Every structure is written in C-alpha cells, then in structure tokens.
Structure 1
Amino acid sequence: MESKAAATTATEAQKYVWEGAIPLQIHLHHSEVTTLPPPPPALILAPRLGYLPLLVPQIKPFFSSTLPPGVDTVWFEYKGLPLKWYIPTGVLYDLLCAEPERPWNLTVHFRGYPGNILTPCEGEDSIKWSFINSLKEAAYIINGNCKSVMNMSQSDQSELWQSVLNGNLETYLWVSSKLKLGLGGDDFSIKLNSSSLKSRQSANEADASGPIKAGRIPVRLYVRSTNEDFDDVEDVPLVDSWDKVSYINRPVEIHDNGKAFTLGDAVKSLLPELFPNKSLPSDNMCLPEGEDGERSALEDTSNTGSARSPEETGETLREHLESCSLSDTAEVKLIRIQGIEPKPEIPFAWVVNNLMNPEHYIHISVHVRVQEPITE
C-alpha cells in the first residue's frame, strides 16, 4: 500500500504542470471561408501537455458550415509557420512565443495539407503512436531497454493514454509507476527527491549542493540561436522556418560524483557545439525498435548526436554553427520549461521530478546568443 500511495502522490509543481492550459484564438484561413460574413474565431483552452490535432473535435463545429467541399486534412499554423503536430502544445508555445501571446492566435486549415513540411497525421491514432514511441525511447534511455513499455497490457496502455487525454494526473502516476521509469518511488526517484528536497525549503531557496545518482535523463532540446544580443524577449526574432530551430535529442548524463548538478549544467552538457568544455554524452546509444521491428525515426541521427524530427531535413546544430567562434562566445539568454523560466542554478533533480512530460521526456526551449567570429 505504501508503494502505491507513493506512486500516486503528486507534487504541487506536477499538479501545476498538468493543470496548465493556453488560451487559443483560432481563425479559419481566409482561403477556406465560403460564407459572408466570415465565421468568428474559436476561443478555447488548450492543455499544455496535449497536442493540437486533439482539439479538432472542439474546433470543427465553429467552422463546418463555411468549409469548401473536400476531405478534412487539418493542420495549424502560426504566422505562416506550419506547426508540427507531435510537439506538445505547451512546447510549441514556449518555443515560438518568446514574448507570451495571450490569447495565442493560430490559424487552422482543413484543406491543403503541407506534406512537404509535415508528416501525415491520422488524428488521435497518430498522436497515440507517437506518444508510445517516445515512451519506449525514454524507457530505453533510462533503463537500457524498453521491455516495461513493450510488455504493457492493452488495458494499462489504454488507461495511460486516457489519463493523458483527460489530464488525470493521479491515474497517470499510478499506471506509469508500473514502468519503473523514475516517477514511481523507485530508488532513482527517491535519490533525486532526497537531494533536492533536503537542499531547499522552496524552489526559490534552492541549494544545489546535494549529490544525484548516476543515470540518463531523456531530454528534447529546442534551440534558437541568434548572433544579436537582446535584453527583452520582445526583441527575439520570429521563427518563420523550422530550419531556424535546432532539435536536439540527447540524454543528460548524470555522474555520481557528489557534485552539484544544475539545470544550467544540464543544458550546457547537451550543447557541446556551443560549450566545448562540457563533456559530450555518449552517441553510440541505440534507440528501441518499434513494434514493426524498425528502428525509431529518431535513430536517424548524425555522429554529432543531433537528432532530427521525422520529417526534418534541415542542417544539424554543429553545421549551423560551425562558422562561429565557440570559445567563450555562447551565452544562454533564455530557458523555458513548462511555461516557466527557471534559473540555471536550480537543481536539475527538481526539474526531473516536477517538470517532465508524460512520455518521460523533459522538453527544454533555449535561446542562445552566439557571437560572430571576428574577421580581419
């Protein structure tokens, strides 16, 4: 009973994350309006941990009477940028709105799917597959195998997915505790909790002096780099192409050396291209095989360790920055996780235990200034 109680006890920060929502104002693209006057925008709350296509059943009734004939192929855009459906809504918002926009104005399309930019999405089934696949990858990173996910019963898998859809944190914690991936009261989680809780009375009084047990933490890092300095998020340039976002899929290596390990340490360890004095995580880690026997799409990585999204064909972070002078020129200007901007000095243990997404990845949006090399 004690272990089950521990598995279903959520922290205040976890509750805050799971209850988080973004107000959306969704406009139908003018090319699909067939009536006068045009329909007003739809106003809805989107769960941060959810995915945009899951909102379609709520959105379509606002626009169904004005749509042109044809088959629905729904996709969203923000200021001309098609939005990747498999990135959680909150992550998209944190990444693309350096200056938070409330409500967030998006455009919805029911026709003309941009297949050259986005992979096909067959509604909830595609999103569930993407979620479970990410969960397998996280399990492999943490445990060295993904057997616990592969061996889930259909009922547990269904209950886990429904808990994410419905925002039911208690059910999620109970089902996911069976996977033993660090949030169910196992030794790894206990050690992390112990190191962070003993070192602070509150998040604002964090003392990063506690040791953390060795291990791998699944992280997805979204990096926007600029050569221009800025002191205000209003000055951050707009993202008008996914080529301007470097997508990094690397585990954070935590070594049991008794030293403090902060969020800033973790981010720098994930960016050896920018901070070469930090150790590069091992790149020879194999990702799990899918149910069809094929390797995960994220295994399509270069030897630099920069992972690409399934349809991403842009350059790697190292290629993008190879002309920059790396020594003492990179500066992390902004870190955003789950809608908050934690200080780099916060214990990474606290981030792991409180700000992780349901698929056991930590999604971190980072803005980095990289100084142009001096040429004579």
Structure 2
Amino acid sequence: MADDKDVLRDVWFGRIPACFTLNQDELTEREAEPYYLLLPRVSYLMLVTDKVKKHFLKAMKAEDVEEMWFEYEGTPLKWHYPIGVLFDLHASNTVLPWSITVHFTNFPERDLLHCPSSSVIEAHFMSCIKEADVLKHKSQVINDMQKKDHKQLWMGLQNDKFDQFWAMNRKLMEYPTEEGGFRYIPFRIYQTTGDRPFIQKLFRPVTPEGSVQTLGDLLREVCPTALPSQGEQQRHQVVIHGIEPLLETPLQWLSEHLSHPDNFLHVCVVPAPSD
C-alpha cells in the first residue's frame, strides 16, 4: 500500500517551466509575445493550456484559427501522453524553460489525435485507469467504485487537488498483504527510437518463487537495449518523473509511488547526455 505521502506529494507537485511561442508561419494581426507557464508533470497539455490559447488567440484572425496543437523541435507533442512523459522523452537534456511551439493550423493528422474538448481527455484518462486496474486487480476495485468516485479521480486531476485525488486513488493502490503486490504491474516504456509508441507487456512484481522483481529485472526482460552490456559505457538514461531510479528499486514500490494519476508507471529510455 502506498504509504510514503512525501513521495506522492513530490510526484504530484512536480512542475516544468515552459515557454510557449507562436509558430512564425501563423498569420497574425499583431505580434504575439511568448507565454510562460509552469506545467504540472502529471497532467495533460490540453488540460492546462487554456491560458496559452487565450493569449495567442488575441493575435490571430478568427478565420485563420483551426485546432490548437503543440510541437517541440519539429516533433508534434501527443496530448494523450502525460506532460512529464513528453518532457522526459523529447527534452530531458534541454535547457529550461522548455520551448514549445504553438500551432493553430496544419493539424498533423498522422501524428496526433484530435482533442475537441476536455471530455475526450477524461475518457482517455478513465480508460487508462480501468486498463491498469484490469492488470492489478482484475478490475475488481474500479468496478466496485461508483460513478461519483470515478468523477472524483478525474476532478482531482483536472483541478490539481492532491487530497481529492488520493482519497480515492489509494484504493487502487491496495492489495492483499499475502500477495506481496499487484497481479501485474501497469507500465509503459517509451524510447526515442523504434517504430512502436511504447512497450507494454505482462510483468509480475513478485516471481512464482516469491522473489521481489526490480526495475532492472523489468528492463532486462522487456527492454534489454536500455541497459549497457558488460564493459560498455552507459548509452541510455532510464527516467521516471525526471529522475533516474536505482535499478535495484522494487517494481511494486515504483508502481505505488511513481505511477502517474492514470495508474501506469511511465518509463522513458533516452540517450545519455554526451560529456
């Protein structure tokens, strides 16, 4: 059971300073100044950028405005990934503030999902929580909750209310003591290379023999390229919430304390910074 409140709070209140600038090819009536914002790592871009949208719409002609989307150094940013994942995956070695380009035209249909309203984000968020609970508890916990409990999870995230969210989420982090952990760990491993968006497989936090599985065990089995071969220099960093956890860290502990609000443990494997 997640009992280390300080870790949970530190994860929840993690922020990334960002500078939003309008794409120079957008037609504007007047010059648009950059907009600065502290982005919550655990939230979604489209949930926290209303102020950004209002700021730049003042400079736009109404007839030139289509759907807003964001890009970093030529890469469209997937709004359905948590903000912290986007930063760790694409910009972890960048100088802050994170420089994000805002677009209102030429929506990249092949790269991004449309997000016409916050109800789309809510549906995505709740489907992730349900998928995670299938893995952890065969859906028993989420199915025992009422509709208002599901809403409390969403409103806690939407309104950045730690206590409101965790009053309900702690139920999703519980398990019978004798089992020593969840059935399977809900995780997704992202890499900057490769043709699939992320790696996701069934992986138990405890072996059939009762041994505790670690982050290193998970990587060795499902993403061995993240780890250096014997005698090889470290080519990758394994990042969760902007930090590099020790490979000996038990996976169950990571799942309870460093999962995003969607109940998945999001792990980014990125190139190690060159000296």
Match among 18, 31, 39 for residue 24 of structure 1: 18
Structure 2 alignment gaps of length 5 or more:
none
SS across alignment from 2:123: helix
Matched, 1:50 2:43: yes
Deviation at 1:258, TM superposition (A): 3.6
Q: Which residue of 2 aligns with 1:153?
A: 146
| Match of residue 187 from structure 2 | 219
Q: Secondary structure at the match of 2:204?
A: strand
Kindly provide the amino acid, as one letter, of the partner of residue 236 in structure 2.
K
Choose from 2, 11, 36 the match for 2:5: 11
1:119 alignment partner in structure 2: 113
Deviation digits for residues 248-267 of structure 1 (CA, Å, limit 9, x no counterpart): 12232231424343211122
Give secondary structure in 1 for the equivalent of 2:96.
coil
Matched residues, number: 268
Distance apart, 1:365 and its partner CA: 0.4
The equivalent of 2:163 in structure 1 is: 170
For 2:241, the aligned partner's letter is Q
Aligned partner of 2:242 in structure 1 is: 339
Task: State whether residues 261 and 348 of structure 1, in contact with CA within 8 Å, keep that contact through their aligned partners in structure 2.
Answer: yes
The one-letter code sitting in structure 2 at the alignment partner of 1:60 is K
Q: Is 1:252 aligned to 2:203, yes or no?
A: yes
SS of equivalent residue, structure 1 residue 101? coil
SS at match of 2:163: helix
CA distance in 2 between counterparts of 1:358 and 1:102 reads 25
* 1:248-305 CA distance string (max 9 Å, x none): 1223223142434321112222226x59xxxxxxxxxxxxxxxxxxxxxxxxxxxxxx
Counterpart code for 2:191: V
CA 10–110 in structure 1, closer or farther in 2 if over 3 Å, else same: farther
Distance in structure 2 (CA, Å) of the matches to 1:111 and 1:10: 45
Larger radius of gyration: 1
Gaps of 5+ in 1: 1-5, 192-211, 226-242, 276-325, 370-376
How many Å separate the matches in 1 of 2:204 and 2:255?
13
The yes-or-no answer on 1:187 pairing with 2:176 is yes
**Rounded Cα–Cα distance in structure 2 between residues aligned with 1:349 and 1:155:** 28
Question: Which of structure 1's runs of 4+ aligned residues deviate more than 3 A?
Answer: 243-246, 326-332
Counterpart CA distance in 2 for 1:367 and 1:330 is 14
Structure 2 match to 1:81: 75
Q: CA deviation at 1:213?
A: 4.5
Between the aligned partners of 1:78 and 1:268, the Cα distance in structure 2 is 31
Code of the residue aligned with 2:213 in structure 1: it is F
CA distance in 1, matches of 2:66, 2:182: 48
Letter paired with 1:162: M
| Identity %, equivalent residues | 29
TM-score (norm 1): 0.64
Q: Which residue of 2 aligns with 1:59?
A: 52
